[in-house]
Amino acid sequence: MRFGEGGTILKTSNGGNTWTSLSGATTNWLNAVSFPDTYTGYAVGGYGTILKTSDGGASWHVLPEAAYSLYSVFFTDVNTGFAVGKNGIFISTRDGGTTWTVIPGGTVNPLLSVYFFNASTGYVAGSFGFMLKTTNAGSTWTVLSSGTSEWLNSVYFTSLDTGFVAGSSGTILKTTNGGTTWTALQEYLPGI
């Protein structure tokens, strides 16, 4: 699925060769999507928009809005999810999005990406190199030192130890110890 301007939702069933437009239930900009299973999915976007589908994207309904625009969402199962966004907003749900709780994130700057490797271990990345980690399903969070002041737009882990973040100015960082230390893999080179 792809999301975007004006509540656009697109779906492919052939690996991206063709896309079908779906009804989205909003005209707000959508920034991210998470599907914990084949039928249940969530999308977040501008003005705190949160959408949910229970039929694989055929129809969407609006959930209670967040206080600020949301940039990333990740569900570990159909009930438990996290979303991050503008002004350091960091929210979680344990009931499939019916209610959301604000998690103190430790920053007022934008949080841009949230990712869970499994049901207990998750990461948040954001502006000015800000990063958080949980090992107890979001009950508590620890600030990580990314070693950069660049905005970190996306975080992803391939194992409990190995993960990557990508951000502004072509920043790509890698960890092999669960986020304790990060190594720069590449930086933007003008003209290349």
Structural domain includes residue 187: no
Structural domain includes residue 180: no
**What is the total count of domains within the chain?**
1
Looking at the predicted structure, is the pLDDT value of residue 140 above 80? yes
Query: Average pLDDT in the 51-67 region?
Result: 89
Structural domain includes residue 146: yes
Strand partners for 110: none
Looking at the predicted structure, is the pLDDT value of residue 126 above 60? yes
Give CA 114 to chain center in angstroms.
4
Of 3 and 184, more confident: 184
Residues contacting residue 192 through CB under 8 Å, at least 6 positions apart:
none
Query: What are the E-state strand segments in the chain?
Result: 2-3, 9-11, 20-22, 30-34, 41-45, 50-53, 61-62, 70-75, 81-85, 90-93, 101-102, 111-116, 122-126, 130-134, 142-145, 152-157, 163-167, 172-175, 183-186
CATH number at residue 128: 2.120.10.30
Structural domain includes residue 169: no
Residues contacting residue 190 through CB under 8 Å, at least 6 positions apart:
none
The per-residue pLDDT for 20 is: 85
Residues contacting residue 17 through CB under 8 Å, at least 6 positions apart:
none
The per-residue pLDDT for 2 is: 47
Q: Mean pLDDT in the chain?
A: 90
| Burial profile 83-106: b = 16 or more Cβ within 10 angstroms, e = fewer | bbbbebbbbbbeebbeebeebebe
Structural domain includes residue 30: yes
CB atoms within 10 A of CB 64: 11
Structural domain includes residue 8: yes
Q: pLDDT-based confidence at 24, cuts 50/70/90?
A: low
pTM of the model: 0.86
Query: Average pLDDT in the 124-140 region?
Result: 93
How many residues comprise the chain?
Answer: 192
Of 190 and 128, more confident: 128
C-beta separation of 37 from 47 below 8 A = no
Structural domain includes residue 175: no
Q: Which range marks the domain in which residue 79 is found?
A: 2-160
Name which of 145-149, 155-159, 162-166, 184-188 the model is least confident about: 184-188
Nearest CA to 5 among 42, 24, 30? Answer: 30
Q: What percent of the chain has pLDDT over 70?
A: 92
Q: pLDDT-based confidence at 8, cuts 50/70/90?
A: confident
Query: Average pLDDT in the 122-131 region?
Result: 96
Looking at the predicted structure, is the pLDDT value of residue 188 above 70? no
Q: Left (φ > 0), alpha (ψ -120 to 50) or beta: where does 191 sit?
A: left
Q: In whole angstroms, give the CA distance from residue 185 to residue 171.
A: 8
Q: Express each pLDDT in 90-118 by its tens digit.
A: 999 999 999 999 988 778 999 999 999 99
Q: pLDDT-based confidence at 5, cuts 50/70/90?
A: low
Of 40 and 103, more confident: 40
